[in-house]
Amino acid sequence: MSRSFAVSTSAVAREFRAADTQSEDYPTVQALNYMSRMIMERSGGRHQIKVFHSRQLGEEKETIEQTRAGAIDLNRTNVALIGTFVPAMNVLAMPFLFRSIEHLQKVLDGPIGNEILDSFEPYGFVGLAFYDSGARSIYNNVRPVRSIADIKGFPAFSVYAATKAAVRSFARSWTTDLKARGIRVNVVSPGPIDTPLLNGTFSNPDDMKVLASTIVMGRLGRPDELAKPVVVLASDDASFITSAELYVDGGAAQV
């Protein structure tokens, strides 16, 4: 993603304050240090960034508040927490949002990512860029995890499992909030779909057979089988359907 910003050419030196709650050797902290070196080099030593790591300026919520007040110039934060200040960021905290790493990068480095970053300004911030901290994986010895429903009842997963209820709650709230604008809100809960990401996760053919055997219909879903119900819900054919949850999973969640 390309983003530009202007730096004053004044001879007055400026030390920018940057906050990161991670330790000094963490990649995001190292990135801030690299940025400081680049600014010093390109400003002829007039400007630099002083990096405060390891919660030196407080917990993340506190540093976000300081950033909005102008006490901190640059802040690296997590999506979940900045979402309490900038609502659009909550979209990125939803599970199973991206098909692959490539899909994630294409979205964040494109118009959608820029639109999310632009949404910071009304709340007193300027969104600069996204850090990609990698994909999250969940392992267990009970059953394959293909959706949020699959971790129901797992020890230590109570918070994560609650996200399924959170998505459903979003639909209820948005249904009420947006009805005056003629907007319907529904939830689609997919099962395992035959995609490059899934094939990469279960590269062993035997694992794929085991996965398929856990589905009532005995096979994986196709992308078009997920897309078609979404198209119907978005069309006038579903004009009287709102605040509903549709399982497109071959019966996995219901049987």
Radius of gyration of the chain (CA): 22
Q: What is residue 91's predicted lDDT score, i.e. its pLDDT? A: 85
Give Cα separations from 119 to 88, 126, 174, 226 (angstroms): 7, 8, 19, 30
Q: Which long-range contacts (CB under 8 A, 24 or more apart) does 36-43 make?
A: 39/7, 43/7
pLDDT in tens, 178-208: 999 999 999 998 888 888 877 776 667 777 7
Task: Give the distance, in angstroms, between the CA of residue 212 and the centroid of all CA atoms in the same chain.
Answer: 28
Residue predicted with more confidence, 3 or 80: 80
> What is the rounded CA–CA span in Å between residue 117 and residue 114?
5
Smallest CA-to-CA distance from 195 within 116, 98, 129, 108 is with 98
Whether 118 shows a pLDDT value over 90: the answer reads yes
DSSP E strands in the chain: the ranges are 14-19, 47-52, 74-75, 187-190, 245-248
Whether 114 shows a pLDDT value over 80: the answer reads yes
Whether 157 shows a pLDDT value over 70: the answer reads no
Q: At what angle do helices 101-108 and 111-118 cross, to 10 degrees?
A: 50
Q: Which of 123, 131, 139, 160 is catalytic?
A: 160
DSSP secondary structure string for all residues of 162-202: HHHHHHHHHHHHHHHHHGGGT----EEEE--B--HHHHHHT
Please confirm, yes or no, whether 160 is among the known catalytic residues. Answer: yes
Q: What is residue 152's predicted lDDT score, i.e. its pLDDT? A: 60
Q: Structure tokens of 80?
A: 């979940």
Residue 75: strand pairing partners: 19
Q: Find out whether 47 and 13 touch, Cβ atoms under 8 Å.
A: yes
pLDDT in tens, 67-105: 999 999 999 998 878 988 998 898 887 767 787 788 889
Structure confidence at residue 16 as a pLDDT band (50, 70, 90): very high
Report the share of the chain in percent with pLDDT over 70: 81
pTM of the model: 0.53
Whether 64 shows a pLDDT value over 90: the answer reads yes
pLDDT in tens, 159-171: 656 676 778 788 8
